[in-house]
Amino acid sequence: MKILVTGGAGFIGSHIAEYLVQRGDDVTILDNLNTGKKENLAKINDKINFVNGDIRDYKLLEELVNNTTGVFHEAALASVQDSFNMKDEYIDVNVNGTENILKLGKEYGFKIVYASSSSVYGNPNTIPVKETDERKPINPYAQTKLDDEYLAKKYSEMGVSVIGLRYFNVFGPRQSKEYAGVIKLFLEKIKQEISPKINGDGLQTRDFVHIDDVVKANILAMDSNIKHEFFNVGTGNSISILDLANVVIDASSLSLEPIHGPELPGDVRATQADITLIRKLLNWEPKMRLDDWLTKIISNKDFQYI
């Protein structure tokens, strides 16, 4: 299959691209290397067509989607904190860029699986959160992801096949500093044998899902007969940031205590996915447990990926 991966030099996109190459697809990556890195593609560099360009460039996108069967759309500006100061840029890349892909999907008939986000829920009234629950973003980044969902729905009504995956907190090799960045930061501290720092009281909870499981969800969504849906992609379990710090400290056998800094603006209090829908419709099941992964990394002193 001929596939385009936008944001393919980033954390999630590069793992999707690796999977596609290994199964024999013809892969093109479009990335402007804003946060992405060519090093993320080291394993597949000679097997892909890499294009350094911007998803806001409609003409360029149009050249790249010619004869494409599917587009995995991962490119975005993804920092909650930056989004407060760069609202227009966030709207331009995340919303206008996504609409370019949807428009081309309508024109050329390819299927789109794209990165939505658990942040569309804001601070949910009930946990675990279901796909049909209210969406109330609490920061400009999350608002762009909600606007993308409105667009995805609109274009699906015009016949475009588009599935939005609401990722929770994705962790694993090459992870970016957003979302599961706390894991990266804690591991960096442990590597230096110093205490991890928690923003706020540490009682905020997160549903951490491993990158291999996220790749699988993307592939199942693309290969399915489903034309339009939004799916939660989490594990259904959550851990508080304080407990996470203690898991990391315990696994290291260092005698440390976590330290606390100020709470971050726009930080949601709790995330936990209800994954009934994706289990049922895509037969997807998360396999990797966060504590197993952390214990393995720390006990082997295998910090090379951070």
Ligand X SMILES: NC(=O)c1ccc[n+]([C@@H]2O[C@H](COP(=O)([O-])OP(=O)(O)OC[C@H]3O[C@@H](n4cnc5c(N)ncnc54)[C@H](O)[C@@H]3O)[C@@H](O)[C@H]2O)c1
Q: Which residues bind ligand X (CB under 6 A)?
A: 6-7, 9-13, 30-36, 54-56, 74-78, 93, 97, 115, 117, 167, 169-170, 176, 178-180
Around Cβ 51, how many Cβ atoms within 10 Å? 19
Q: Of 40 and 161, which CB lies nearer to ligand X in the complex structure?
A: 40
C-alpha 223/C-alpha 190 separation (Å) is 40
Which residues are within 8 A (CB) of 107 and not within 5 positions of it... i.e. 6 or more apart?
Answer: 62
Question: In the complex, what is the shortest distance from the CB of residue 119 to ligand X, in angstroms, rounded to a whole number?
Answer: 7
3-state helix, strand, coil in the chain (%, to 5): 40, 20, 40
C-alpha 107/C-alpha 54 separation (Å) is 19
Contact 260, 202 (CB under 8 A): yes
Tokens of 205: 């909870």
Q: Of 12 and 20, which CB lies nearer to ligand X in the complex structure?
A: 12
Q: Of 189 and 206, which CB lies nearer to ligand X in the complex structure?
A: 206
Question: In the complex, what is the shortest distance from the CB of residue 15 to ligand X, in angstroms, rounded to a whole number?
Answer: 8
Question: 49-52 and 70-73 as β-strands: parallel, antiparallel, unpaired?
Answer: unpaired
Q: Of 256 and 273, which CB lies nearer to ligand X in the complex structure?
A: 273
Question: 239-240 and 205-206 as β-strands: parallel, antiparallel, unpaired?
Answer: antiparallel
Residues serving a catalytic function are: 141
C-alpha 137/C-alpha 166 separation (Å) is 13
Tokens of 157: 């009504």
Q: Of 93 and 160, which CB lies nearer to ligand X in the complex structure?
A: 93
